[in-house]
Amino acid sequence: MSTTNQNKVTRQVRVGQIIAGIQKYFMTMPSIHLGGTDFTPAALVDVLQKGLAATKQTSNAKAAWLAEVQTERNKFAELGPVLRYIKAFVVAQFGDTQDSSPKLEDFGYTPRKARSKDVAVKAVAADKVRATRVARGTKGKKAKAKIKGTIAAQPSKDGPATTAPVPAAGTAPAPVKPST
């Protein structure tokens, strides 16, 4: 019996079946030799039942723990609005600037971060982004969707290979239809 991939319920059923089998077929034997140790059938059943009892105990402990966790979650769901009100009250009393930082830290709060960029800095950054797009030749979704590939020269049955005209830079090429 391999127990490596068995869950708790499967293991309990399996051990229960083993106990029933021992009680049905081996109770009349004086001893059973297993792994270098002699067991009486009653002692072997007792060992297996202790294992089942341990499994039941852990199941009960887990159920109790899950109930406690749910109780904790319910309490913090009730505390959530109160905690938000306390923070709002503390900020209203002391402010949320860097000057009030020591007082806010006593409550475990941090002040708002000062804005680092003003409108002029953001405008310069936007200009840099546009200049970079132009320099690199990057395009947006709509401009990229207009660009179509060209088919390389293909020999035809009737004559020499034909090539499609190469479009001028910055214009979308006309779609090329394959010859039939």
pLDDT tens sequence across 53-109: 999 999 999 999 999 999 999 999 999 999 999 999 999 999 888 888 899 999 999
Q: What domain range includes position 111?
A: 95-136
The residues that bridge with 32 in the sheet, in sequence order, are 39
DSSP secondary structure, 17-76, as one string: HHHHHHHHHTTTSS-EEETTEEE-HHHHHHHHHHHHHHHHHHHHHHHHHHHHHHHHHHHH
Q: State the total domains in the chain.
A: 2
Q: 22 in a domain, yes or no?
A: yes
Q: What is the per-residue pLDDT for 156? A: 62
Do 21 and 54 belong to one domain? yes
Do 26 and 50 belong to one domain? yes
- How many residues does the structure list for the chain? 180
Q: 159 in a domain, yes or no?
A: no
Question: What is the token pair recorded at 178?
Answer: 């394959």
Environment class of 15 (CB within 10 Å of its CB; exposed 0-12, middle 13-18, buried 19+): middle
Q: 167 in a domain, yes or no?
A: no
Question: What is the token pair recorded at 84?
Answer: 């938000």
pTM (two decimals): 0.47
Determine the Cα–Cα distance for residues 106 and 111; give it in Å rounded to an integer.
12
Determine the Cα–Cα distance for residues 1 and 13; give it in Å rounded to an integer.
13
Do 13 and 75 belong to one domain? yes
Query: Given pLDDT bands bounded at 50, 70 and 90, which one contains residue 10?
Result: very high
Instruction: Quote the Cα angle for 106-107-113, to 5°.
Output: 90
Q: 148 in a domain, yes or no?
A: no
Do 69 and 23 belong to one domain? yes
Determine the Cα–Cα distance for residues 45 and 25; give it in Å rounded to an integer.
12
Q: 46 in a domain, yes or no?
A: yes
Determine the Cα–Cα distance for residues 140 and 130; give it in Å rounded to an integer.
12
Question: What is the token pair recorded at 127?
Answer: 């200009």
Do 68 and 21 belong to one domain? yes
* 137 pLDDT more than 60: yes
Q: 99 in a domain, yes or no?
A: yes
Q: 18 in a domain, yes or no?
A: yes
Q: 71 in a domain, yes or no?
A: yes
